[in-house]
């Protein structure tokens, strides 16, 4: 054994690494097996789009409500200031009511009963007698006029229109409006132009300003004969601006 290790031929032979063939692959360079890809997860439902932004509301204009003014005044200056503001707003409504009452009282004060009745004859053939002079406003074209009306054919005792009396409703008309209804005629409207609220007249209307040569059928068995002269009692109850 010692002779073998100590022989020069053994020492002189270099140690060689074993040769690897081309077909062999070093262990250190073995290909790494790829890990199997995880199975595809089931697709989740699509996320719905976000809701559209809500339109911004416009701030309320202060004119729509003035309660905040009363609240601010109350917090800053006390209850008296808030009540004063509320009273200021209510003054407008109350003043209109006072104005209306003053007009009514003035109308009643200026209305007077005629002591001596006299018949007035107009150029168009209308005759009228003033029974009560009104103290209110005179109706103008477009005004709303509320009247009580009683009408009959001259020489007849049967009225074809009568709104006087308990439970009966007056007539409302717009001055200048057509056609006439409920016993109204051109002659009555002509007389109304010179009357005032609270006034009352006895009026005789010729056929040409009444229902003419054809007469009129008012329904419910009421018939105005042709070329009839008409007699009316006209009372103006109220005159105001016509609604639009």
User: Do 81 and 154 reside in the same domain of the chain?
Assistant: no
Sign of CA dihedral 244, 190, 180, 149: positive
Contact 89, 73 (CB under 8 A): no
How far is 195 from 135, CA to CA, in rounded Å? 9
Tens digit of pLDDT for each residue in 216-231? 988 888 899 999 999 9
CATH of the domain at 137: 3.10.50.40
- Flag whether 28 is in a domain: no
User: Do 78 and 131 reside in the same domain of the chain?
Assistant: no
- Flag whether 76 is in a domain: yes
Q: What pLDDT, on a 0 to 100 scale, did the predictor assign at position 110?
A: 75
- Flag whether 213 is in a domain: yes
Number of domains in the chain: 2
Tens digit of pLDDT for each residue in 46-72? 666 666 666 565 554 443 444 555 566
- Flag whether 201 is in a domain: yes
- Flag whether 11 is in a domain: no
User: Do 92 and 193 reside in the same domain of the chain?
Assistant: no
Please, which residues have CB within 8 angstroms of residue 121's CB and are 6 or more apart in sequence?
127
- Flag whether 106 is in a domain: yes
- Flag whether 196 is in a domain: yes
User: Do 153 and 172 reside in the same domain of the chain?
Assistant: yes
Domain boundary among 50, 79, 110: 110
User: Do 83 and 147 reside in the same domain of the chain?
Assistant: no
How far is 102 from 171, CA to CA, in rounded Å? 25
Tell me: pLDDT of 125 over 70: yes
User: Do 138 and 203 reside in the same domain of the chain?
Assistant: yes
The per-residue pLDDT of the chain, averaged, comes to: 75
Q: How many residues does the chain have?
A: 244
Structural domain including 93 reads 65-110
User: Do 124 and 163 reside in the same domain of the chain?
Assistant: yes
Q: How far is CA 37 from CA 32, 34, 41, 70, 118, in A?
A: 15, 9, 11, 74, 121
Q: Is pTM beyond 0.75 here?
A: no
Domain boundary among 110, 126, 142: 110
Q: Give me the helix-helix angle, 67-77 and 79-110, nearest 10°.
A: 130
Q: What pLDDT, on a 0 to 100 scale, did the predictor assign at position 166?
A: 85
User: Do 104 and 131 reside in the same domain of the chain?
Assistant: no
């Amino acid at each position: 054994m010692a002779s073998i290790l100590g022989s020069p031929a053994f020492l002189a032979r270099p140690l060689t690494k074993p040769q690897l063939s081309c077909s062999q692959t070093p262990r250190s360079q073995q290909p790494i097996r790829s890990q199997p890809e995880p199975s595809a997860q089931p697709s989740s439902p699509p996320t719905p789009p976000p809701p559209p932004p809500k339109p911004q509301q416009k701030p309320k204009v202060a004119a729509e409500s003035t309660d905040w003014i009363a609240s601010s005044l109350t917090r800053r200056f006390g209850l008296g200031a808030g009540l004063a503001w509320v009273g200021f707003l209510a003054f407008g409504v109350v003043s209109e009511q006072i104005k209306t009452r003053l007009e009514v009282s003035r109308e009643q004060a200026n209305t007077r009963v005629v002591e001596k009745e006299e018949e007035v004859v107009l150029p168009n053939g209308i005759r009228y007698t003033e029974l009560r002079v009104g103290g209110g406003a005179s109706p103008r074209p477009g005004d709303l006029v509320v009247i009580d009306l009683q009408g009959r054919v001259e020489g007849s005792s049967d009225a074809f229109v009568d709104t006087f009396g308990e439970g009966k409703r007056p007539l409302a008309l717009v001055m200048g409006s057509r056609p006439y209804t409920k016993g109204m005629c051109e002659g009555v409207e002509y007389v109304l132009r010179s009357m005032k609220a609270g006034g009352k007249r006895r009026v005789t209307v010729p056929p040409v300003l009444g229902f003419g040569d054809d007469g009129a059928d008012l329904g419910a068995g009421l018939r105005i004969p042709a070329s009839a002269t008409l007699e009316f009692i006209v009372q103006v109850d109220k005159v105001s601006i016509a609604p639009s």
